Structure 1
Amino acid sequence: MRKLGYTLQRAVRLWVGLVLATGAVWAVLAVAKLSAAPLFASLVVAAVFAVKGYGPSKVPRPAGMAAQGILAVSIGFMIDTETLSALGANWLPALAVCLATLIVSVGAGVLLGAHRDVDVLTGALSMIAGGAQGLVAIARELGGDERIVAVVQYVRVGLIIVTMPLVATLVFGAGSSGGALGSGDGSPLYVDLLVVLGCIVVGIGGARLIRLPAPATLGPLVASGALELSGWIDSVSAPMVLLPIAFVLIGWQAGLAFTGESVRAVGRVLPWAILLIVILGVVCALLGLLLSHLTGISLLEGYLATTPGGLSAVLAVSAASGANVTFVAAVQVIRLVIMLFAAPFGAKAYLAVRARSERKKQRDDALVG
């Protein structure tokens, strides 16, 4: 009994220390106006605590699934008819560019997988351009190394957030003729919470029933997207108070898995990953020029629509520069949803092919023996 009491006290101390340290770092990053401050703070603090042996062993699975569900629902609510209708007759070129971005991302991931510290699946998940938080949240579930996926994805987002406004201004002549993004009146908080909870519960239950991969992400994403497109509850949105909590849980989930060896492995991988991220950014910019040519939108709008990540920053620059925010948002959201759906199904297919190949090799070895 005394041993159990000591174990509980130690667990409480570890969690309290993690919460306080994360809050302090989060506050500093927020003052510095760093994008996704809660996510970066929780990842860095949890990784340091894990390597030093001061942190809890892991985030409880129900908490991790709840974080995935909250994030998925917030993305699903972006899939509204007004945004999608902005594509108009340009939906086919926009879809083609999104699929091309997926192919290029996976190709870059395969190249990253050539590094001795990274397998092909982890490389692909690390380089997929879109949905960084969602991919980190489901990386372990899909069979990838969530530590490498987390670092590479967040480096990609960070590089894009830093460079995108500069490129938009210096290369494409973005100005400040537009206004800020506005938002309409929302529904009461308790309604938002009940709808989000319902989407998570129904989505996960339905996804498990039909055996979808990554049910905690794809199930709530489908449920919330269908609800948004139905128009039944137009004013509902994921409460802003939930997203930082989800980001913190996702950051902890990845950070607590770090070890000294994994930190050294990430350090070896990072230079190669940064080079591939830069190449990916250039290719996406070229796809933006192609989208501009095919649809008649401006070069700036084509670039912003195809920028591989940093959705909030992209929309902010679009609004401030007077670009067609709705069109940019539509392309970005479509790409985001495609990436989040392609990753689980692609990972499942890859693992199935790899398992068959290994079984065939074992049979061949047995015959030779």
Structure 2
Amino acid sequence: MGGQRWRRVLDGTVVATGGLAAALVLDRLGVPSPALFGGVVAGLVRALVRPLPMEVPKPITIPALAVVGVTVGALVDPETLRAVGARWLPVLLVVLGTLLVSLAAGWLLRLQRGISPVTGAFAMIAGGAEGVTAMARELGADHRMVAVLQYLRVLLIVAFMPVVASLGYGATTSGSGGLAPTGGPGWAADLLFTAACGVVGLVLGRLLRLPVPALLGPMLVAAAADLTGLSHGAVAPGAATSLAFLVIGLQVGLNFTRESLRTIGRALPLALVIVLGLIAACAGMGLLLTRVTDASPLDAYLATTPGGLTAVLAVASDSGADATFVLAVQVTRLFVMVLSAPLIARWLRRTRPPA
């Protein structure tokens, strides 16, 4: 019995170490969300090479979800709300339009055999890839398919966005690589803030019976603390966020099977066409945003790009775009997508997948 326990510990340590190594390599290559991708790769290799059941324990996944929730919640601040306030109606319409386009894209993805309504919708929700992937499994979606297709979209955006911004909107970059880091209260305060929001949010989430309480509860508590000034600028520590994404990636990767990979492979051609159509539709909404607000075409394009938040802010900062407005729209959409995902899942679970 003791020998089996030690073998499981060794097995988990090897997989986690492999995920960390993969994350470091992917980070060097400039891949978005390298920790999450690294976890997926390591878990996938373990699942295919040694197809014995292995799960990430709940005492590890719950804190990881809480850290992701705090990370997302801390993006909201008074400056972000002020940037949206003057143009709230057009921004809200664009966000809701993006949600409807995402649902339509998910419905089209269901034309591929083996994809459920919830999986199709979650795979195509535009924005909040990390949060959507993190909650997909608990809400009844195939989190393997969701992870692959969510990050297919993010990779396409990261690859094409600088080119489109430069050639289509005349953006010029200074090569600084992104936003300069802002001063905060320090790592100890960040860690305390994350732990407090995580614990309080989890308790409240369960009391209020929120779906995925480990993620949504801390997210709402962190957002409230940021808006009221109680956070004093604290955010989730970068190392904690990376570890959380690594855990979520491992959880996804370890559940892959050869059959699930074949299903994903069959879906990729159709998914690629749908994702490109989704990106084009969001760019069209950016054009509409310029017609009804004083936002420049570049600002509107970056604000409505469906994902790749870090890359979007890097381009906005380097090109002289209104980074505050871009962040405000992106964060507003992210919150709407993450908060609406449980409602979408509940609604779609009542529908039947195509035969």
Q: TM-score, normalised by structure 1?
A: 0.91
* 1:194 counterpart residue number: 192
* Match among 228, 239, 242 for residue 241 of structure 1: 239
Equivalent residues in 2 for 1:36-51, closer than 5 Å: 36-51=33-48
CA distance in 1, matches of 2:309, 2:321: 15
CA distance in 2, matches of 1:55, 1:299: 52
Aligned: 1:96 with 2:93: yes
Equivalent residues in 2 for 1:1-369, closer than 5 Å: 4-53=1-50, 57-176=54-173, 180-351=178-349, 353-354=350-351
Q: Secondary structure at the match of 2:236?
A: coil
The C-alpha deviation readout for 1:160-206, integer Å capped at 9, x for no partner, is 11111111111111112696523332113222212211111111211
Distance change (3 Å), C-alpha of 1:104 and 1:154:
same
Q: TM-score, normalised by structure 2?
A: 0.95
Aligned amino acid, residue 157 of structure 1: V
CA distance in 2, matches of 1:292, 1:136: 31
The C-alpha deviation readout for 1:261-316, integer Å capped at 9, x for no partner, is 00111101111111100000000000001011111211111100000000000000
Aligned residues: 351
The runs of 5 or more residues in structure 2 that have no matched partner are none
Runs of 4+ that moved beyond 4 A: 177-180
Aligned-pair distance for 1:227? 0.7
CA distance in 2, matches of 1:280, 1:343: 18
Larger CA Rg, structure 1 vs 2: 1
CA distance in 2, matches of 1:316, 1:6: 50
Aligned-pair distance for 1:54? 6.2
Q: Secondary structure at the match of 2:4?
A: helix
CA distance in 1, matches of 2:303, 2:92: 11
Q: Is the 8 A contact 1:77 1:225 kept in 2?
A: yes
Q: Is the 8 A contact 1:114 1:120 kept in 2?
A: no
Q: Is the 8 A contact 2:35 2:245 kept in 1?
A: yes
Aligned amino acid, residue 216 of structure 1: A
CA distance in 2, matches of 1:13, 1:56: 15
Percent identity between the two aligned chains: 45
Supply the RMSD in Å over aligned alpha carbons: 1.6
Aligned-pair distance for 1:122? 0.4
Aligned amino acid, residue 26 of structure 1: A
The runs of 5 or more residues in structure 1 that have no matched partner are 356-369
